[in-house]
């Protein structure tokens, strides 16, 4: 009678019942639901739209900066934000600072995360399983599954030691997802 399953949203970290109200179902052919809640999806859609505006109104610019700040906070908490929400903070750093209420600790750690010397951090020996996801043929695989299941398993297993490699695997899966989405349109 009552659907008991709970899904923890990959983006906001909230645990919500797996209902149509909270999570979309996968499209035909695959059981289950998306792992990002509808609330986050609507924020993402709005953000994507705001990014397309070359001359946003003041209200739109503020809204965009707020969402950017939100994405940054979620990232700090180790959650997954959409790819288009990454790496676009430079033009709005001032606003982000303001929004974060001069919370220097947070701003500091944001800067640190951003400035991590990637090459130094990268380990010389990478586990075979991890390495294989950087090179293997992805064709025929389901991008959703790569991003939600394969990647999450890898992250749980390797995050402590192989953060930078994991980021590369994630980027590769995102690229593949983009390819698939663009190819099917
Ligand atoms: Zn969410």
Distance in Å, CA 69 to ligand 1 centroid: 15
Distance in Å, CA 72 to ligand 1 centroid: 14
Lowest mean pLDDT among 25-39, 74-88, 113-127, 128-142: 113-127
Instruction: Name the nearest CA neighbour of 14 among 65, 84, 72, 77.
Output: 77
Cα 146 to Cα 30: distance, rounded to the nearest angstrom: 13
Q: What are phi and psi of 121, to 5 degrees?
A: -70, -25
Distance in Å, CA 145 to ligand 1 centroid: 18
Cα 44 to Cα 22: distance, rounded to the nearest angstrom: 15
Distance in Å, CA 35 to ligand 1 centroid: 8
CB neighbour class for 124 (10 Å; exposed up to 12, middle 13-18, buried from 19): exposed
Query: How many CA atoms, within 13 angstroms, populate the side-chain half-sphere of residue 118?
Result: 6
* DSSP result, 98-167: HHTTT-HHHHHHHHHHHH--HHHHS-SS--HHHHHHHHS--TTS-HHHIIIIIHHHHHHHHTTT-HHHHH
Cα 174 to Cα 80: distance, rounded to the nearest angstrom: 12
The pTM of the whole model exceeds 0.95: no
Lowest mean pLDDT among 4-18, 35-49, 103-117, 121-135: 103-117
Distance in Å, CA 61 to ligand 1 centroid: 23
95 pLDDT above the threshold of 60: no
Question: What pLDDT is attached to residue 90?
Answer: 45
| Three-class SS state of 16 | strand
Distance in Å, CA 182 to ligand 1 centroid: 25
Query: pLDDT tens digit string along 120-135?
Result: 455 678 888 988 998 8
Question: Are 22 and 37 in contact, with CB atoms under 8 Å apart?
Answer: yes
Q: Please provide the average confidence, as pLDDT, over all residues in the chain.
A: 77
Distance in Å, CA 34 to ligand 1 centroid: 11
Distance in Å, CA 70 to ligand 1 centroid: 12
Distance in Å, CA 125 to ligand 1 centroid: 35
Residues 6+ apart with CB under 8 A from 113: 75, 76
Query: pLDDT tens digit string along 40-53?
Result: 999 999 998 898 88
Alpha carbon dihedral 54, 60, 66, 71, in 10-degree steps, equals -50
Distance in Å, CA 136 to ligand 1 centroid: 31
């Amino acid at each position: 009678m009552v659907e008991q399953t709970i899904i923890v949203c990959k983006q906001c970290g909230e645990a919500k019942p797996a209902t149509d109200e909270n999570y979309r179902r996968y499209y035909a052919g695959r059981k289950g639901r998306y792992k990002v809640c509808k609330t986050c999806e609507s924020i993402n859609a709005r953000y994507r739209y705001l990014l397309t505006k070359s001359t946003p109104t003041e209200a739109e610019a503020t809204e965009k900066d707020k969402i950017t700040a939100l994405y940054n906070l979620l990232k700090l908490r180790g959650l997954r934000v959409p790819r288009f929400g990454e790496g676009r903070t430079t033009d709005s750093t001032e606003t982000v600072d303001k929004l974060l209420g001069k919370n220097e600790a947070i701003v500091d750690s944001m800067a640190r995360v951003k400035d991590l010397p990637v090459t130094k951090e990268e380990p010389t020996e990478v586990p075979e399983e991890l390495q294989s996801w950087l090179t293997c043929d992805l064709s025929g695989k389901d991008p959703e599954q790569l991003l939600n299941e394969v990647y999450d398993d890898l992250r749980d297993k390797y995050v402590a030691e192989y953060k930078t490699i994991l980021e590369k695997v994630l980027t590769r899966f995102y690229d593949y997802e983009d390819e698939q989405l663009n190819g099917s349109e």
